[in-house]
Amino acid sequence: MKAGKQLGNDSAGNMARSLNRSYGCRKIRYPVMSIRTQISDNAARLRALHAELHRAFLEDSHGPTHTAACAAFQRSYNALAFPGGLEHFFKRLKRLEPSAIDEAIEYLEADPWYFRSGYVKEEIVRRLKKAPITERQRHRLAVVILRSMATGTRRLARHLAKLAIFVDSPAFRSRIEAFSHSTDEVQHRAKHLLDVLRSQQVPD
């Protein structure tokens, strides 16, 4: 399987549902938060704008329709990429504001998909490595990291693995080891996670 390829929907869905049901022996329930809905709705709007841009390019490359579609996408991107504006969010996260840290984790949990969303997630991971997180947030990140073994791209899974040392626990390692008997791709991701934890070093 190529590094960027996502896992099959059936196996990924089953594993994701298993992770959402439990983490170790503890039940985790998340409150429905408006920011999660905003993230998902905004991602859908960005996908629609990007699809319109692509359609305009095919029909009228560099013509008025295509130019207008490009302008609409660029004009909307910052506001839709993250509730309240992507640039403003990253400034808050750089300052390690508690609310921004929680919103960053919420974004990783929502796992939106749109143009360049993978880079947004990678930047969030980079900044979370420097962030003080609560015990509750550690559990939430642990679930996100474990889910990445079953869903999404290998590239994102490797970036999320950089947070593994911050959420390490016997229960966390037990769940990783349980995945080591799954498909080849999941085994590969599980092995990488365990290697990161055994090194006891935070990857760059």
Distance (Å) of CA 68 to CA 53, 58, 149, 160: 8, 14, 40, 36
Band (pLDDT 50/70/90 cuts) for residue 140 is very high
- The pLDDT-based confidence of 182 (bands split at 50, 70, 90) is confident
Write a three-state SS string for 72-133: HHHHHHHHHHCCCCHHHHHHHHHCCCHHHHHHHHHHHHHCCCCCCHHHHHHHHHHHHCCCCC
Instruction: Give pLDDT, residue 4.
Output: 43
Per-residue confidence (pLDDT) for residue 179, from 0 to 100: 83
Asked whether the predicted pLDDT for residue 7 surpasses 80, the reply is no
Model confidence, pTM: 0.80
Query: Can you tell me the mean pLDDT for 186-197?
Result: 92
Q: Report yes or no: 150 and 12 within 8 Å, Cβ to Cβ.
A: yes
C-alpha to C-alpha distance for 147 and 141, rounded to whole angstroms: 10
- Given a contact cutoff of 8 angstroms between Cβ atoms, the answer to whether 189 and 154 are in contact is yes
pLDDT tens digit string along 102-118? 999 999 999 999 999 99
CA distance 202 to 204: 7
The chain-wide mean pLDDT, for the chain, equals 86
**In the prediction, which pLDDT does 60 show?**
85
